[in-house]
Structure 1
């Protein structure tokens, strides 16, 4: 039987490493295209505050990475965090606490796009990727001391 805490640790590590792997490094990136009449799938400079036009990761490089992330790491981490949370609460009526977890998740899902859009339009994809990778790595580092405690609880 696989415990939920190491699975959550692995999913967080996968999440952080995927963003570091897909950071717009020069050898896997191309300049962002300015909007013109013939190409509507590009950036419109009037909607951004970018001074220097950044690079974007090539689609063929990014697609397998994001498929792995959202196909494996995110669902695995969601199930793992729910399992860990449920086991930590113990043998009580968990309706209220599970509802609080869902509420916090919904608030984060609502606020995150607004914050990330501001970061992206102000600084471009490079800073955005580092913020995402850093957030995942901070969560991973915060989870490290908890692994021993989870092992004692058999979670």
Structure 2
């Protein structure tokens, strides 16, 4: 059995808003994804929420604003953690890495469905590094 077991995920929010201020030109579109993570610990069950915010309604170089939020349910099997990696490290390095591709897919799908711009495919990222740089990981214990 795995130390961190992925049970399921659900979509909390998915929104697309066209930016009426966008001025189309030959320059690259300004897209700077913001990634936030929130962890909720309930005994052995862990709920990890990944929020991604892209674009703006006020930047003339951004054609849209997209928000995607998903929560994944994980179970930490402490007795299987023979290398003593710990729940915090597993959440940060594994749980978020498992959930991020689902967020990427949601963003690609909703931007394709807009039928105005090519699909936005978020780059693969080192989620741990991004969270460390942004200081955006939060833990909530119940």
Question: What is the TM-score with the length of structure 2 in the denominator?
Answer: 0.29
Structure that is richer in strand per residue? 2
Structure that is richer in helix per residue? 1
Question: What is the TM-score with the length of structure 1 in the denominator?
Answer: 0.27
Report which of the two structures shows the higher radius of gyration computed on alpha carbons: 1
Higher relative contact order (CA 8 A, sep 6+): 1
